[in-house]
Amino acid sequence: MYISGTENNDFLVANSALDSTLDGLGGNDTLLGGAGNDTLNGGDGNDSLNGGAGNDTLNGGAGDDTYIVDSLGDQVVEAPGAGVDTVRASVNYTLSNDVENLYLTGNAILGTGNSINNILVANAALGSTLDGLGGNDTLLGGAGNDTLNGGDGNDSLNGGAGNDTLNGGTGDDTYTVDSLGDRVVEAPGAGVDTVRASVNYTLSNDVENLYLTGNATLGTGNSINNYLVANAALGSTLNGLGGNDTLLGGAGSDTLNGGDGNDILNGGADADFLFGGAGDDTYTVDSFDDLVVEAAGAGVDTVRASINYTLGDNVENLILSSSATAARGNSSNNYLVANAALGSTLNGLGGNDILLGGTGNDTLNGGDGNDSLTGGAGNDRLVGFWGNDTLIGGAGSDRFEFFSSSFAMIGVDVITDFTSGQDKMVLYTNNFSGLIAANFSFAIATSNDDAASNSARIIYNSTSGSLFYNQNGDGSGFGEGGQFATLAPNLMVTANDFVVSSSFS
């Protein structure tokens, strides 16, 4: 029996007893088969085809068509690019070519995709198995204990309620986990995979990334490189374990434990506790209440601070960012970097420190130890304090200052790029006790012996670059003075390059 529709939206029903052919032609048609083996042709439009009983052939044609399949003998026919089509199957079913979506209904518990991007939805009430095969598929479980196999491609797997088994296969897969009984299975080298968990969760082997959602507040990585993200709204604890991990906090007060490896820890907003563990770790600090904890000998660690910050014990490096303009080191050998755009003050304190200025007008204070200070661009102030320091002014008009608890503690600092007439050397009278600005005297010698026999207070050996303080003020040696700096040789140094000051601030 043959029934033809029109170019309008038609409702065509086959003979209940005979094999029928229904042609919907144009429009969004509904075609219903009978008890025979029917052929339903939807034609153009978004059609609904239900073959009824029998082994039916269903051809939706162009448009986004929906097929009702209730027999293993039903055949769905679609052409490439002929819309986004959906099968609702009450029997176990494998999608034919060029059909995108499959929903299991009735007693169906097995759904299989094809080589294109599919959406596969499990039986709402019965535990189901979904196989995505090729393509970037979305697999959605129901209320039962489902098994979802993504196959090839970058798949999204959500088991829904129940204790589900989720196997993404190859590709970069995303898993939604909402039950402690859900099980994620991945093979080594099968892509970079992500779990979004609304329950406290530990990553299984070979899964890289974890995001906490819902009420989840505890996330734990595995032995590979992980990317762990805290709950956006609730204070969370993240444990990196092995690998070089990245741990990101949220809006709450988070605790981040890097574990082994070279980890990156960023607590986000609020007061966070950051424990890097072993390895060379990097911390992002944006709150005065953030606490960074490192053990002795647990790697060379770096803080990137957007606030003024003092390094805690056993942390080596500090880099200022955003609006931060003050950095203080600790008793270790520190590497302190000024804000790249804003004038900053860096204090090395103990250890042999490296201090690097930025483009602003920076103040670099070396502290104890043999320090290296580089001003960079801008008009910088460099104070070595104790020890034999290396001072590099960089661009701009820089001040090289000599201040310590005594002259002997100043050491011999090396100034690598002093420019006469542009830079200044500042001498403080508590260390250079024989100096007063009113009778400052300066001379140039060509040897150390000539310098020692000169009666000027400050003598520059133009041959070696050595700079001396003559505490006696006569030609019988330097007294309690001596060499306190080394400049480049053959500079045109004059008395105007020095400033004598009685007050350090």
Residue 358 tokens read as 């930025």
Q: 316 — alpha (psi -120 to 50), left (phi > 0) or beta?
A: alpha
Q: Please state, in angstroms and rounded to a whole number, the distance separating the CA atoms of residues 123 and 314.
A: 56
**Cβ proximity of 383 and 375 under 8 Å:** no
Dihedral (CA of 194, 123, 133, 89) sign: negative
Residue 215 per-residue DSSP state: T
Strands 482-486 and 466-469, bridge-based pairing = antiparallel
DSSP string of 331-381, one letter each residue:
SS--EEE--SSS--EEE--SSS-EEE--SS--EEE--SSS-EEE--SSS-E
Digit-coded pLDDT (tens) for 133-168 = 999 999 999 999 999 999 999 999 999 999 999 999
Dihedral (CA of 425, 426, 431, 433) sign: positive
Q: 251 — alpha (psi -120 to 50), left (phi > 0) or beta?
A: alpha
> Which residues of the chain have a pLDDT value below 50?
none
The per-residue pLDDT for 2 is: 85
Digit-coded pLDDT (tens) for 408-461 = 999 999 999 999 999 999 999 999 988 886 678 999 999 999 999 999 999 999
Task: Report, in angstroms and rounded to the nearest whole number, the Rg of the chain calculated over CA atoms.
Answer: 38
The 3-class secondary structure across 292-342, one letter per residue, is: EECCCCCCCCEEEECCCEECCCCCCEEEECCCCCEEECCCCCCEEECCCCC
CA 481, 403, 422, 474: dihedral to nearest 10 degrees?
A: -20
Query: How crowded is residue 7: how many other Cβ atoms within 10 Å of its Cβ?
Result: 12
Give Dmax (Cα) for the chain. Answer: 130
Dihedral (CA of 300, 305, 308, 312) sign: negative
Residue 259 per-residue DSSP state: -
The per-residue pLDDT for 40 is: 92
Direct distance between the N- and C-terminal alpha carbons of the chain, in angstroms, rounded to an integer: 104
Q: Please state, in angstroms and rounded to a whole number, the distance separating the CA atoms of residues 152 and 172.
A: 9
**Cβ proximity of 334 and 350 under 8 Å:** no
Query: How crowded is residue 338: how many other Cβ atoms within 10 Å of its Cβ?
Result: 31
Q: Tally the residues of the chain.
A: 505
Q: Please state, in angstroms and rounded to a whole number, the distance separating the CA atoms of residues 243 and 246.
A: 10
- Residue burial 199-234, b: 16+ Cβ < 10 Å; e: rest: bebebeebbbbbbbbeebbbbbbbebbbbbbbbbeb
**C-alpha to C-alpha distances, 90 to 28, 78, 111, 158, 348, nearest whole angstrom:** 23, 20, 10, 21, 73
Using alpha carbons only, give the angle 160, 165, 167 rounded to the nearest 5 degrees: 110
The per-residue pLDDT for 38 is: 87
Query: Which H or E element spans position 489?
Result: none
**C-alpha to C-alpha distances, 152 to 118, 171, 497, nearest whole angstrom:** 12, 6, 73
Distance of alpha carbon 79 from the chain centroid = 44
Identify which of 443, 447, 478 has the alpha carbon closest to the alpha carbon of residue 465. 447
Single-letter code of the amino acid located at 304? R
Q: Please state, in angstroms and rounded to a whole number, the distance separating the CA atoms of residues 119 and 132.
A: 8
Single-letter code of the amino acid located at 196? R
Q: Please state, in angstroms and rounded to a whole number, the distance separating the CA atoms of residues 329 and 500.
A: 29
**C-alpha to C-alpha distances, 105 to 73, 123, 142, nearest whole angstrom:** 17, 5, 11
DSSP string of 408-434, one letter each residue:
HHH--EEESS--TTT-EEEEETTTSTT
